[in-house]
Structures are given as C-alpha cells and as structure tokens.
Amino acid sequence: MQETFLKIIVCGDGGVGKTSFLNRYVNDEFSEDSEMTKGVNFLSKKIKKNGNAFDCDLILWDLGGQDQFRFMLADCIDGAAGALFLFDMTRFNSLDRIDDWMAEITEHGNIPVMLVGTKCDLKHLISDFLDDYASQIVQTCANCIGYIKTSAKTNHNIHDTFDYFIDILGKRMKGYESDSNSIEGSIV
Ligand SMILES: Nc1nc2c(ncn2[C@@H]2O[C@H](COP(=O)(O)OP(=O)(O)OP(=O)(O)O)[C@@H](O)[C@H]2O)c(=O)[nH]1
Ligand SMILES: [Mg+2]
C-alpha cells in the first residue's frame, strides 16, 4: 500500500506555544523554558487509526513566529494539506494578525485552517470574551474549520486536536467532502 504523507504547518505569533504543542504531541514532553524557534523545525509522526484518523505519516512544520522569519513563510506553506493557527489564550493580541496569516495561507490554495487556543491551564489570565471572539473568527474565515482550547502543559486536547483535524483532512483527500469551504463546526 502506498504511504500517505500529510504536511501540516503550525503557525502563529512568537511565543504562543507552537513548539510546546508539538513537543507534547510527538514526544509527550513539556518545558517551561522552551527556546524560540529559529526559522523552521520539522517533526514527524506515524498515525495508525488513531480515533477516526486514517493511516499516514504526518510531517509537522513548526514555524518560528518571530517577524524576522516571515520571509520564509511562503515556502513553508507550499504543499501543506492543512494549517493549525495557534494563539495564546492569555494574550488577546496574539489574534490581532490572524487576517494576515489567513491571507498568506489562502494564497496557496484552499487549505483548511484550525484555530487552536493555547495555555488554557492559565485560566485566571483568560478573558471571558475570548470564546465568543474566537467563534466569530471561525464563522467569518472561509477556510477556518474549528476552534479548540488546549494546554501543552497539562496535555489537554492536544491529541484530540490532531484526531479531529486529520480526520477532516483525510475526508478531503479521499474526496468525501462535497463542499470544502463549509464550516465543520467547533470543538472546545
Ligand atoms: N502555562 C503554559 N505555558 C506554556 C504552554 N505552552 C507553552 N507555554 C510556554 O510558553 C512559552 C513559549 O512557548 P514556545 O512553545 O516556545 O512558543 P513558540 O510559539 O514556539 O514560540 P516561537 O518559536 O518564538 O515562535 C514557553 O515558556 C512555554 O513553556 C501551556 O500550555 N501552558
Ligand atoms: Mg517555537
């Protein structure tokens, strides 16, 4: 049987927790002092019927979120089957530039994007208005297929994010999706 490779990019502003999110998913590790990603890092993971997901090799691109690495963005997005856009739930302004990120991603095709709130363990620092705001974004961005709240520190919803997202990507690849622009719904 032919192997399926699925390229997923993990993007978002600097310090929102992209590397931590991936490190928890792939290595089941978390560090309080994770270092800034310089450029881009790659991780991979084999998926074998995890939840509803199909068998594939995930190639995960961990993009450095600092502005000095934005020149690499176009090359990184190229060929991606999907994008996880991470924002820090304790910093509302980490959603400020989502329109720029979305514009850049959609330039490369009809790539599904999932909105992922990070650091949900820091409940006391999270605004009551955040959920409404994030849900509004999901409804207004054509390619945005859902919103989920996660914590790499407590391992909350990390695997569920991938199970849900890979399932959606798999259906698209196998042609089950009749309307790829439709909103699939949110999970939180
Ligand atoms: N409390 C808490 N802290 C987190 C969580 N995820 C990440 N952090 C912390 O947030 C800081 C930044 O995390 P990174 O994963 O390096 O962020 P990044 O998005 O990869 O940053 P860049 O590589 O600069 O783009 C680190 O101090 C992490 O320990 C989380 O779920 N909960
Ligand atoms: Mg990083």
Residue 183 pLDDT greater than 50, yes or no: no
Ligand 1 contacts CB of residue 18 (under 6 A): yes
Spell out the domain ranges in the chain. Answer: 2-181
Query: Which of 67 and 182 is assigned the larger pLDDT?
Result: 67
For ligand 2, the distance from its centroid to the CA atom of residue 84, given in whole angstroms, is 14
Residues 8-40 pLDDT 10s: 999 999 999 999 999 999 999 999 999 999 999
Question: What pLDDT sits at residue 48?
Answer: 85
Burial class for 156, CB neighbours closer than 10 Å (0-12, 13-18, 19+): middle
The atom of ligand 1 lying closest to the CA of 63 is 25
| pLDDT at residue 182, rounded to an integer | 39
Distances (CA, A) of 83 to 11, 33, 76, 129: 7, 25, 11, 25
Q: Which residue's alpha carbon is nearest to atom 21 within ligand 1?
A: 15
Residue nearest to atom 14 of ligand 1 (CA): 17
| Ligand 1 atom closest to 32 (CA) | 29
Least confident of 48-52, 81-85, 97-101, 104-108: 48-52
Please tell me the number of Cα atoms within 13 Å of 11 on its side-chain side. Answer: 27
Residue 142's pLDDT is 86
Tell me which of 3.30.470.20, 3.40.50.1470, 3.40.50.300, 3.40.50.720 is the CATH number of domain 2-181: 3.40.50.300
Say what the pLDDT of residue 4 is. Answer: 85
Model pTM? 0.92
Handedness of CA 41, 163, 6, 105 (dihedral sign): negative
How high is the mean pLDDT of the chain? 89
How far apart are alpha carbons 125 and 90 in whole angstroms? 5
For the purposes of burial, counting CB atoms within 10 Å of the CB of 38, is it exposed (0-12), middle (13-18) or buried (19 or more)? exposed
Tracing tokens 């560090």 back to the chain, one arrives at 31
Q: What percent of the chain has pLDDT over 90?
A: 81
Sequence-distant (6+) residues with CB within 8 A of 91 are 16
Average pLDDT over residues 166-181: 66
- Which tens digit of pLDDT belongs to each residue from 118-171? 999 999 999 999 999 999 999 998 899 999 999 999 999 999 999 999 999 988
